[in-house]
DNA sequence: CTACTGTATCGACACCGTGTTGATTAAACC
DNA sequence: GGTTTAATCAACACGGTGTCGATACAGTAG
């Protein structure tokens, strides 16, 4: 349903009857529409965390390829669950729990990016420059927004097939100059 | 009011009584809450257009300074009207007219950025690379998201005082390598 | 075979915000 | 003085949300 229209345009009545139950019964399982979204988002985020954790941390071998692989995880998982991802990104504003879950994950990813940038600077591969944490924040926010735009098919947006190229290009040039 | 809480949490009743009129009278002037937002956004965008148009196009003299000045216009105007900007960015999802107005402006800015990037490449100042239009799109979306995050004080976000530095740094490195 | 307990279900209700209608007043203009 | 036009709002209809209390239906202990 989220693939067709935003969560706001889906009534709990629809959700419930679609699941073969009545509206009050829906409330037996979830406390609100956003509670459903939260459960779905949680699964998507777990999948990202799982795949990120399994990534080799060999930035000293081929930095470009390593960054590209990391970004590819986000692109792939969020693309696979594009409807939920898009709904979460927009639902974040409305719902505190969705906001917090998303914010927590973003912080994890920003923290990870920051560490790698600092390590690359420490080994002399990347030059000093703006604060690594702020650079990582801007780049992660860019990824979020660019993917969101691609999912909802807005204009302007970047075609799905080029997203990974464009994003990793900007990351690498921003970090290594 | 938008500075305190999202538009969704403001009822038309509140808007109306705050303006000293009744709810039906509100509908005499606006067709919905989003219609008010649209009117406010229109003013902000006009201000940006006006200031961007007045910008010197001297990218051949000092490219870094020229980009920084352009980005500064967005940062300054949107910061000045941060509540409206933030509400528009989130309201875009809900309302087709807000979405269209914002999308139209984004396209204008992306178009302008693309032209400058192509000109810089043509004169040999910037290297060839990813599609200029897609690069411009990603960078403009980054600006939107980073400013939005700074306005709403989410985490992670970039401190207001550093936004211009971080953004223009990424733009320049992405474009000139 | 009861009586109890926890799970699951939903009809009916109360509430709130939205948008509309129709009547009313007040000013502006022949 | 009479007609149009702008402005106002009480009252209504509607739709979505969330709650409550009643009911059914296990499984389980006595």
Nucleotide nearest B8 (Cα, C1'):
C17
Give the residue ranges of chain B where pLDDT is below 70: none
Looking at residue B162, its pLDDT comes to 98
Nucleotides, chain D, CB distance < 7 Å: 7-11, 15-21
Q: Which residues contact B146 (CB under 8 A, 6 or more apart)?
A: A137, A138, A141, A142, B157, B158, B163, B166, B167
Helix-strand-coil split of chain B, %, nearest 5: 75, 0, 25
Distance CA A24, CA A27 (A): 5
Q: How far is CA B37 from CA A49, B73, B124, in A?
A: 38, 21, 43
pLDDT-based confidence at A18, cuts 50/70/90?
very high
Q: Where are the domains of chain B?
A: 32-176
- CA angle (B29 as vertex; B148, B36 as ends), nearest 5: 5
Looking at residue A170, its pLDDT comes to 98
Looking at residue B26, its pLDDT comes to 98
Looking at residue B16, its pLDDT comes to 97
Quick check: B147 contacting A, CB < 8 Å?
no
Indicate the CATH number of B32-176 among 3.40.50.2300, 3.40.50.720, 1.10.357.10, 3.60.15.10. Answer: 1.10.357.10
Exposed e or buried b per residue across B77-102, where buried means at least 16 C-beta atoms within 10 angstroms of its C-beta: bbeebbbbbbbbbbbbbbbebbbebb
Percent with pLDDT over 70 in chain A: 100
Nucleotide nearest B13 (Cα, C1'):
C17
Which of A93, A157, A177 lies closest to B137 in CB terms?
A157
When pLDDT is averaged across residues A159-171 and rounded to a whole number, the result is: 98
Looking at residue B160, its pLDDT comes to 97
Q: Is B164 exposed, middle or buried (0-12, 13-18, 19+ CB in 10 A)?
A: middle
pLDDT-based confidence at A95, cuts 50/70/90?
very high
pLDDT-based confidence at A122, cuts 50/70/90?
very high
Looking at residue B103, its pLDDT comes to 98
Looking at residue B96, its pLDDT comes to 94
- Average pLDDT over chain A reads 97
pLDDT-based confidence at A65, cuts 50/70/90?
very high
pTM for this prediction: 0.96
Looking at residue B69, its pLDDT comes to 98
């Amino acid at each position: 349903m989220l693939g067709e229209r935003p969560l706001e345009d889906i009534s709990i009545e629809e959700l419930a009857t679609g699941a073969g139950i009545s509206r009050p019964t829906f409330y037996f399982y979830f406390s609100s529409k956003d509670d459903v979204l939260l459960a779905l988002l949680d699964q998507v985020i777990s999948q990202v965390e799982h795949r990120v954790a399994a990534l080799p941390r060999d930035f000293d071998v081929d930095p470009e390829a390593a960054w590209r692989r990391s970004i590819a995880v986000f692109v792939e998982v969020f693309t696979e669950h594009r409807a939920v991802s898009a709904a979460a990104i927009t639902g974040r504003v409305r719902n505190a729990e969705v906001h917090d879950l998303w914010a927590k994950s973003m912080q994890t990813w920003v923290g990870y990016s920051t560490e790698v940038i600092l390590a690359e600077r420490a080994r002399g591969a990347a030059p000093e420059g703006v604060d690594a944490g702020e650079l990582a924040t801007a780049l992660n926010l860019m990824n979020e927004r660019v993917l969101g735009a691609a999912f909802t098919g807005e204009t302007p947006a970047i075609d799905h097939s080029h997203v990974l190229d464009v994003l990793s290009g900007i990351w690498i040039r921003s970090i290594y100059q």
